[in-house]
Structure 1
Amino acid sequence: MNKPEILAPAGNLEKLKTAIKFGADAVYLGGSKLNLRAFADNFTEEQLAEGVMYAHKYGKKVYVTINVFPHNSDLVGLEEYLKHLYEIGVDAIIVSDPGIIMTAREVVPDLELHLSTQANNVNWKSAVFWHKQGVKRIVLARELSLKEIKEIRNKIPETCELEAFVHGSMCMSYSGRCVLSNYMTGRDSNRGQCAQPCRYKYYLMEEKRPGQYFPVFEDDKGTYILNSKDLCMIEYIPELVEAGITSLKIEGRMKSSYYVATIVKSYRQALDSYMDNPKEYKFQKKWLENLMKVSHRIYYTGFYFGDPNKQIYETSSYIRNYDIVGIVKKYDKETNIATIEQRNKILNGDEVEVLRPEGDNFKVKLNNMKNEKGEPIDSAPVAQMIFKSEINKELNKDDMLIKSKNK
Structure 2
Amino acid sequence: MREIELLAPAGDLEKLKIAFEYGADAVYIGGEIFGMRSAAKNFTKENMIEGVNFAHEKGKKVFVTCNIIPRSEDLQVLKDYLLELEEIGVDAVIVSDPGVFKIVRETIPNMEIHISTQASTTNYVAAKFWYNKGAQRIVTARELSFEETKEIREHIPEDMDIEAFVHGAMCMSYSGKCTISNYTTGRDANKGSCAQSCRWKYTLMEENKGEYTPVVEDIDPEFFFNTKDLCMIKYIPQIFESGITSLKIEGRMKTAYYVATTVRAYRMAIDEYYKDPENWKFNPIWLEELKKGSHRDYSTGFFLNRPDENSNNYESASYIRNYDFIGLVKGYEEETGLYIVEQRNKMYVGDKIEVIGPFKDTMFTTIEEMYDEEGSPIESAPHARQIVKMKVGIKLEKNYILRKPTEKARIL
Q: Shorter-chain-normalised TM-score: which range?
A: over 0.9
Q: Which residue of 2 aligns with 1:398?
A: 399
Q: Which amino acid aligns with 1:353?
A: E
Q: How does 1:167-178 map to 2 (within 5 A)?
A: 167-178=167-178
Q: Which residue of 2 aligns with 1:329?
A: 330
Q: Shift of the alpha carbon at 1:77?
A: 1.3
CA–CA separation in structure 1 for the residues paired with 2:205 and 2:224: 16
Which deviates the most, 128-137 or 250-259?
128-137
Q: CA RMSD in A?
A: 1.9
Q: Which residue of 1 aligns with 2:369?
A: 368
Superimposed CA distance per residue, residues 355-404 of structure 1 (whole angstroms, 9 cap, x where no aligned partner) = 10021111111122222233222211001111122212111122110111
CA–CA separation in structure 2 for the residues paired with 1:131 and 1:369: 57
Superimposed CA distance per residue, residues 318-338 of structure 1 (whole angstroms, 9 cap, x where no aligned partner) = 000111101112234775422
3-state DSSP of counterpart to 2:102: helix
Q: Is the 8 A contact 2:204 2:216 kept in 1?
A: no
CA–CA separation in structure 2 for the residues paired with 1:224 and 1:38: 25
1:320 and 1:383, CA in 2 relative to 1: closer, same or farther beyond 3 A? same
Q: Is the 8 A contact 2:198 2:226 kept in 1?
A: yes
1:207 and 1:240, CA in 2 relative to 1: closer, same or farther beyond 3 A? closer
CA–CA separation in structure 1 for the residues paired with 2:228 and 2:358: 27
Q: Is the 8 A contact 1:336 1:394 kept in 2?
A: no
3-state DSSP of counterpart to 1:77: helix
Superimposed CA distance per residue, residues 214-259 of structure 1 (whole angstroms, 9 cap, x where no aligned partner) = 6563865751111100000000000001111110000000000000
Superimposed CA distance per residue, residues 87-133 of structure 1 (whole angstroms, 9 cap, x where no aligned partner) = 11110000000111001111111100000000001111111111111
Q: How does 1:231-380 map to 2 (within 5 A)?
A: 231-309=230-308, 310-332=311-333, 335-380=336-381
Q: Which residue of 1 aligns with 2:189?
A: 189
Q: Which amino acid aligns with 1:52?
A: V
1:351 and 1:278, CA in 2 relative to 1: closer, same or farther beyond 3 A? same
Q: Shift of the alpha carbon at 1:280?
A: 2.2
3-state DSSP of counterpart to 1:324: strand
Q: Shift of the alpha carbon at 1:206?
A: 7.8
Percentage identity across paired residues of the two chains = 54
Q: How does 1:116-135 map to 2 (within 5 A)?
A: 116-135=116-135
Q: Which amino acid aligns with 1:113?
A: I
Q: Which residue of 2 aligns with 1:385?
A: 386
Q: Which residue of 2 aligns with 1:224?
A: 223
1:344 and 1:214, CA in 2 relative to 1: closer, same or farther beyond 3 A? farther
3-state DSSP of counterpart to 2:273: helix
3-state DSSP of counterpart to 1:37: coil
TM-score (norm. length: structure 1):
0.96
1:389 and 1:129, CA in 2 relative to 1: closer, same or farther beyond 3 A? same
1:173 and 1:300, CA in 2 relative to 1: closer, same or farther beyond 3 A? same
1:33 and 1:291, CA in 2 relative to 1: closer, same or farther beyond 3 A? same
Q: Which amino acid aligns with 1:234?
A: I
Residue ranges of structure 1 left out of the alignment (5+ in a row):
none
CA–CA separation in structure 2 for the residues paired with 1:40 and 1:263: 18
Which deviates the most, 14-23 or 384-393?
384-393
Q: Which amino acid aligns with 1:58?
A: K
3-state DSSP of counterpart to 2:136: strand
Number of matched residues?
406
Q: Which residue of 1 aligns with 2:4?
A: 4
